Structure 1
């Protein structure tokens, strides 16, 4: 599966997600080196979405 070309910065993506999901906080997006998976798990649980749904959501942000 090809990776989408990222056209939006991480900061833009976070802002768009926070606008779309009012329950998200800046702390939900924090992760240290090697902890990206933990952050994605945290977002998945908070938004009640599977990891696949979360991936599709991030992909969708690139099409706006």
Structure 2
């Protein structure tokens, strides 16, 4: 999915992102605000992912949203 669309729909999508990545707080999801780089950084911080792992997780999850 195009990240411009994700940013526009972030309020609807952040609930499903919270279900997928439960360690992200509501405040962190608000800070991410649909920004892929911020989301990758938070996933790296919370889950210990590499940058490539985080990008792949995000791309795979949001591909069909």
Length-normalised TM-score, structure 1: 0.56
What root-mean-square deviation, in Å, do the aligned CA atoms of Structure 1 and Structure 2 show? 3.0
**1:24 pairs with 2:24:** yes
| Bigger relative CO (Cα 8 Å, ≥ 6 apart) | 1
Alpha-carbon spacing, 1:38–1:24, altered in 2? closer, same or farther (3 Å): closer
Which consecutive segments of 4 or more residues in structure 1 shift more than 4 A? 36-39
Rounded to whole Å, the distance in 2 between the matches of 1:39 and 1:58 is: 8
Unaligned runs of 5+ in 2: none
Unaligned runs of 5+ in 1: none
Structure having the higher helix fraction is 2
Length-normalised TM-score, structure 2: 0.55
